Structure 1
Amino acid sequence: MAGKPRLHYYNGRGRMDTIQWLLEAAGVEYEEQFIESKEDLEKLKKDGALLFQQVPMVEMDGMKMVQSRAILNYIAAKYNLCGKDLKEKALMDMYIEGMMDLGEMIMHHPFKPADAKEKDLALIIEKATTRYFPVFEKVLKDHGQDYLVGNKFSRADVQLLEVILMTEEEVKPDILSKFPLLKVYKGRISNIPMIKKFLQPGSARKPPMDEKQFADAIKIFY
């Protein structure tokens, strides 16, 4: 019997976040099954639930799906958030790969050695402001539309807002100071009802990791 999707990950920011964002944007109710110990993770492995022995894993539509991009592609296609034709899908894929590259840099930052953190943070700021955000500022300027692709709300908008907020919260609060169109875009996408609800206090959205969560993640995955 089909039920709500069940999300298996630890209780902190990481690779499950974008999946959660996309489900929220699609208005899909889901359950979270937190991995709280190395034993929880080992049990999933021994039960054969993890195809490649790693999470995130999402139980959905009778499947136990792993690999973040595969899960995101499935959800986007199922809920019509992936573009109307091959050209739009190709544009989205290109944009999203860039967003995920920046997101990966931010996600890995807490795991850097203490003496490398300052240099790493400077590199993230440089890449965000000279490589990634200029692309999306130009896209919005060139087509003059409300959304990133096809003038329709899509997974590209969900994932761009996520990485903008992640960069502001974890790297530099005024990171958009030189990107006026992205600032307006951020406000517009943030006010879409499903997104606005997810951004409210008390929602299932995870805050930036604190030292305890970081230590817990290390114990579970390393």
Structure 2
Amino acid sequence: MSGKPKLYYFDGRGKMESIRWLLAAAGVEFEEEFLETREQYEKLLQDGFLLFQQVPLVEMDGMKMVQTRAILSYIAAKHNLYGKDLKERALIDMYAEGTTDLMVLIMMYPFLTPEDKEKQLATIIKKATQRYFPVYEKVLKGHGEDFLVGNQFSWADVQLLEAILMVEEKSSSVLADFPHLQAFKVRISSIPTVKKFLQPGSPRKPPMEVKDVPGIMKIFYG
């Protein structure tokens, strides 16, 4: 096996996408093994690789890591994207958890009925513009720095950009009332490693669509 991290997941965003984002932002190349059949998933279970019987699974540094938050924390700490002390790490955790809560709402969207999708879309836009984005706008305005924490590029910045772009896919004008977030989006998107990940042909996945759902359900539920 090469020294590159290896990611095990289906060929789509889901919970693995934030891991792809963070590795890419850190300038780390990785390999992926896409789960396309129920048999592949069952093999990982039988081999004991899935500690809690679920993916994402990331193989790196001699470890087989599961649980998205643990994987992200490890990558962030290893690549100096986790602040300079415990206080900064706590802030990064807080901001990352907030964006995770918002992104989970969007991840659920393709699995809903048409009626529920309409309600969910309204909920996504409302929470983005009234609960989550105002927090980050206030933080950036308050300290006047380029990044969310410690004036240093961190996991929190990576995940906030990911969340912004996900919401913009649902409503392109969502940042209209957030000038500091607009500037943040441009600034973080211009970081060379991030810019590379945003280019066509990168490992970044497109939004999940309804047509993708049956295949995913078959892999994990038979």
TM-score tier by shorter-chain length is: over 0.9
Q: Which amino acid aligns with 1:46?
A: Q
The answer as to whether partners of 2:8 and 2:33 remain within 8 angstroms in 1 is yes
RMSD of Structure 2 on Structure 1 (CA): 1.1
Take 1:84 and 1:151, find their aligned partners in 2: how far apart are those partners? Answer: 11
Percent sequence identity over aligned pairs: 66
Partner amino acid for 1:96? A
Q: Deviations over 1:167-207 (max 9, x none)?
A: 111x2111111111101110000000000000001111001
| 1:12 positional shift | 0.6
Aligned twin of 2:69 = 69
Partner residue in 1 for 2:16: 16
Q: Which residue of 1 aligns with 2:108?
A: 108
Distance in 1, Cα, partners of 2:121 & 2:155: 27
Number of the residue aligned with 1:87: 87
Q: Which is further off, 177-186 or 205-214?
A: 205-214
Corresponding residue number in structure 2 for 1:188: 187
Alpha-carbon distance in 2 for matches of 1:176, 1:217: 32
* CA distance in 2: counterparts of 1:173 and 1:56, whole angstroms: 29
User: What secondary structure sits across from 1:36 in the alignment?
Assistant: coil
- Corresponding residue for residue 163 of structure 1: 163
**Contact 2:110 2:210 (8 Å CA) reproduced:** no
Q: Normalising to structure 2: TM-score of the pair?
A: 0.97
* Cα separation, partners in 2 of 1:217 and 1:124, compared to 1, 3 Å: same
Deviation digits for residues 81-118 of structure 1 (CA, Å, limit 9, x no counterpart): 00001110111111111100001111111112222111
Q: CA deviation at 1:212?
A: 2.8
Per the alignment, residue 214 of structure 1 pairs with: 213
Counterparts of 1:22 and 1:119, CA distance in 2:
31
Q: CA contact under 8 A between 1:56 and 1:68: conserved in structure 2?
A: yes
Matched letter for residue 221 of structure 1: F
Letter in 1 for 2:201: G
Number of aligned positions between the proteins: 221
1:2 to partner: Cα distance: 6.5
Q: Distance in 2 between matches of 1:213 and 1:159?
A: 24
Letter in 1 for 2:219: I
- Describe the superposition over 1:135-191 as per-residue Cα deviations: whole angstroms up to 9, x where unpaired: 00000000000011000111111000001011111x211111111110111000000
Q: State the match for 2:137 in structure 1.
A: 137
- Given that 1:38 and 1:221 are in contact with CA atoms closer than 8 Å, whether structure 2 keeps it comes out as yes
Counterparts of 1:12 and 1:213, CA distance in 2: 9
Q: Which residue of 2 aligns with 1:202?
A: 201
In 1: Cα distance, 2:42 partner to 2:111 partner: 22
Which ranges in structure 2 are unaligned for 5 or more consecutive residues? none
Letter of the structure 1 residue corresponding to residue 120 of structure 2? D
8 Å Cα contact 2:6-2:58 kept in structure 1 = yes
What is the deviation of 1:215?
A: 2.3
Q: Which residue of 1 aligns with 2:28?
A: 28
Superposed structure 1 runs of 4+ greater than 6 Å apart:
none
TM-score by length of 1: 0.97
